[in-house]
């Protein structure tokens, strides 16, 4: 059961309209790493979690908070669009070159499709996609991805922060930056707790029997590029994160598989037939 409170989690009031910046904010609303993505990702992970208790509670609580962030961004975008000009002529009539420039970068769908509000699209007008979310059923894998999502989201909000001088917008972005920071640390702490609870480890999935792998390929960091500095990293020697593997830097090996030669395809598929080698005299014209 969801219960909605109409008061915002944090204030979302700009100092002045800015249709162009409203479109930029669409990226952290409906883009790949936006609030729509993390809200749906955490909620689906929580709904599908078969382990009742603290991890499920954390997922559902955080996903619900992210829905509040969606609402705040929609509100900010709608307010940035208030009193914004609807045409180039209207912008020019206000005798404000800056306003005309702002109109030039606005999103026509904000007025045509949404009546002056935000929507689940990115800053290029590409619809948000459920393909952006992951709910694998493996909490260790998902929590690592959740930390990445918060890092990417915070990175984009930080870039947006430097693209405006509006103090009201900046105030909201500072709030979102703080929450993204907290959520990064939260998911990394959850990774540590899963491991300490014995509920997963590296590699993922830990339960797959390592003896069924090709062990000769399980510890080598292979130089497939000609850069030599790869050997300077910790990944080139020493203990790996799984506690049982020691890294080894190796040069590019010889190929182990044969060069593939595929048989002729089904003629009903009308592919190009393989060339047939011929012997004898060449034809002349």
Numbered residues of the known binding site for Ca(2+): 57, 225, 227
Query: How far is residue 128's CA from residue 26's CA, in Å, rounded to a whole number?
Result: 10
Q: Which residues contact 246 (CB under 8 A, 6 or more apart)?
A: 219, 237, 238, 239, 240
Q: Which residues are annotated as a binding site?
A: 35, 57, 66, 69, 150, 183, 225, 227
Query: Rounded to the nearest 10 degrees, how much is the dihedral formed by the CA atoms of 21, 23, 26, 28?
Result: -30
Interacting residues of 207 by C-beta distance below 8 A, sequence separation 6+ = none
Q: Which residues are annotated as a binding site for Mn(2+)?
A: 35, 66, 69, 150, 183
Residue with tokens 């954390």: 58
């Amino acid at each position: 059961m969801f219960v909605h409170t109409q008061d915002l989690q944090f204030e979302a009031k700009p100092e002045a309209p800015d249709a162009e910046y409203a479109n930029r904010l669409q990226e952290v609303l409906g883009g790949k790493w936006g609030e729509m993505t993390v809200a749906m990702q955490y909620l689906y992970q929580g709904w599908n979690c078969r382990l009742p208790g603290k991890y499920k509670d954390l997922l559902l609580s955080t996903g619900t908070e992210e829905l509040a962030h969606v609402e705040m961004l929609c509100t900010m975008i709608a307010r940035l669009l208030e009193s914004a000009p609807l045409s180039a002529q209207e912008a020019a009539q206000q005798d404000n070159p800056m306003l005309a420039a702002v109109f030039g970068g606005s999103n026509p769908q904000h007025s045509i499709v949404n009546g002056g509000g935000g929507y689940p699209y990115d800053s290029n007008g590409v619809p948000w996609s459920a393909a952006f979310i992951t709910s694998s059923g493996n909490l260790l894998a998902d929590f690592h991805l959740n930390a990445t999502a918060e890092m990417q989201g915070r990175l984009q909000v930080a870039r947006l922060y430097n693209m405006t001088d509006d103090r009201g917008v900046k105030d909201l972005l500072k709030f979102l930056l703080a929450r993204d920071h907290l959520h990064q640390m939260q998911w990394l702490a959850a990774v540590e707790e899963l491991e300490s609870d014995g509920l997963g480890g590296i590699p993922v999935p830990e339960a797959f029997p390592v003896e069924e792998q090709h062990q000769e390929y399980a510890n080598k960091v292979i130089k497939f590029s000609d850069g030599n500095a790869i050997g300077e990293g910790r990944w080139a020697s020493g203990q790996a994160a799984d506690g049982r593997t020691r890294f080894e830097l190796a040069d590019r090996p010889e190929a182990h598989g044969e060069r593939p030669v595929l048989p002729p395809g089904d003629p009903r598929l009308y592919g190009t037939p393989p060339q047939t080698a011929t012997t004898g005299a060449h034809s002349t014209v």
